[in-house]
Structure 1
Amino acid sequence: MKKLLFIGLTLFTLNVFAQQTTELSKQGDNDLKYRVSFPAIILGNLGEGGERTNTQHIELHIKRELNAKSIVGIKLATWRLFQPMGIQWWDGLLDKIDSKEEFYPGYLRETGVGFSYQHMLWKGLFASIEVLPLFKTYLDLDNNKIANGFKLYNSYHIGYHFAFGKKKQFFIEPQFHCNVWHIDTNTPDEFKQLDNKWDSYFLFEPNLYIGIKL
């Protein structure tokens, strides 16, 4: 039932995306506005080299404004997980990183290209959804491949857009995410045993996006 619900949400989002793209085609080129942004969290991985907890997170968003309220975009992302993503804050997430008790017997590398829809609610307040199909690669501690799989990663966001600069071309977007991945295939047993102990969602992830309008 959960899988059907999230498949339905994904199809609904695709329909919204198609409708907004149709509206865009009716506008002149002079009305188009672009945004390029990335999450500040990726800066924390710089300089860590091969450390066990380095997620090697790289993420880029390229967006286009359709009108004053609607923004669509493409999301490019890759990261490396060292423990299950579904450990919540109240489950002792940070303590488990320190103790290493939930670490995988290797790594999970996930890479994908997806899309996003952002809707401005009031002034800078916005809500958005991101749908990201992910190709999974499981690795041992020596970075030898164990298996491949697929994950459908959806995230739901609420945040605020702050623009600054002479032409308001620079911006930051502090926000909170709720992430879900109920479609997740071909997980090796030694990884699955750890994943099954935790949720297939993560709630209230804080983040800060940094960007520029072009």
Structure 2
Amino acid sequence: MAYNRFWWKGLYTAVHAMNAFQRYYNEDNKKMANGFTLFMTYRLGYQVKLFNNRFFIEPSVGLTHWPVKTNTPPSFREKESKWPNYFGWEPGLHFGYNFGLKRNK
């Protein structure tokens, strides 16, 4: 699920949410547990329109965060405890084509 909001002259913010169901296995390839992670991305960017506004590029910077993580086995939790549950300032570059209909003036 994603939500984009254009604020002013191409400046935008976006929030993306993704769910992930995980399976945890040990060194012997035996299943230990099933888990769930909610993975969030918060993005700030700018849309640059090209070629009569039909194409665009969107350079941006993002912050990823996983606020919900359930049923993680203790051995995995111990390894992951060395790092925070977010990752900041990842660059992004989206590009696209506007399929909107041309209107006659």
Normalising by the smaller structure, the TM-score range is 0.7 to 0.9
Q: Unpaired runs of 5+ in structure 1?
A: 1-114
Shift of the 199–172 alpha-carbon distance from structure 1 to 2, 3 Å rule, reads same
Aligned AA for 2:91? P
What TM-score results when the alignment is normalised by the length of structure 2?
A: 0.77
Residue number among 156, 161, 168 corresponding to 2:47 in the alignment = 161
- Name whichever structure is richer in strand by fraction: 2
Partner of 2:9: 123
The CA deviation at 1:139 is: 5.1
Q: Which has the higher helix share?
A: 1
Higher RCO (CA-CA < 8 Å; seq separation 6+): 2
* 1:187 equivalenced with 2:72 (yes/no): yes
The one-letter code matched in structure 1 to 2:62 is H
Q: CA–CA distance in 1 between the matches of 2:55 and 2:27?
A: 40
Q: Distance in 1 between matches of 2:17 and 2:27?
A: 30
Kindly provide the CA deviation profile for residues 45-74 of structure 1, in whole angstroms up to 9, marking residues without a partner as x: xxxxxxxxxxxxxxxxxxxxxxxxxxxxxx
What is the rounded CA distance, in whole Å, between the counterparts of 2:62 and 2:20 in structure 1? 18
The sequence identity of aligned pairs, in percent, is 38
- Asked if structure 2 preserves the Cα contact closer than 8 Å seen for 1:137 and 1:145, the reply is no
Structure 1 counterpart SS, 2:4? strand
Change (3 A) 1:126 1:145: farther
Aligned-pair distance for 1:179?
1.5
Show the 5 A alignment for 1:44-59: none
2:93 aligned partner: 208
User: What root-mean-square deviation, in Å, do the aligned CA atoms of Structure 1 and Structure 2 show?
Assistant: 2.2
Quote the residue 2:34 is aligned against.
Answer: 148
How far residue 141 of structure 1 moved from its aligned partner, in angstroms, is 7.8
Q: Normalised by the size of structure 1, how large is the TM-score? A: 0.41
Unpaired runs of 5+ residues, structure 2, are: 100-105
Going from structure 1 to structure 2, the CA distance change for 1:212 and 1:188 (only over 3 Å counts) comes to: farther
C-alpha distance in 2 between matches for 1:141 and 1:161: 46
Greater than 4 Å deviation, 4+ residue runs? 139-142
Distance (Å, rounded) in 1 between the aligned partners of 2:53 and 2:30: 46
**Given the superposition, is the C-alpha separation of residues 145 and 180 from structure 1 closer, same or farther in structure 2, using an over 3 Å criterion?**
farther
- 1:147-179 CA distance string (max 9 Å, x none): 4211111221100111213x4222211111111
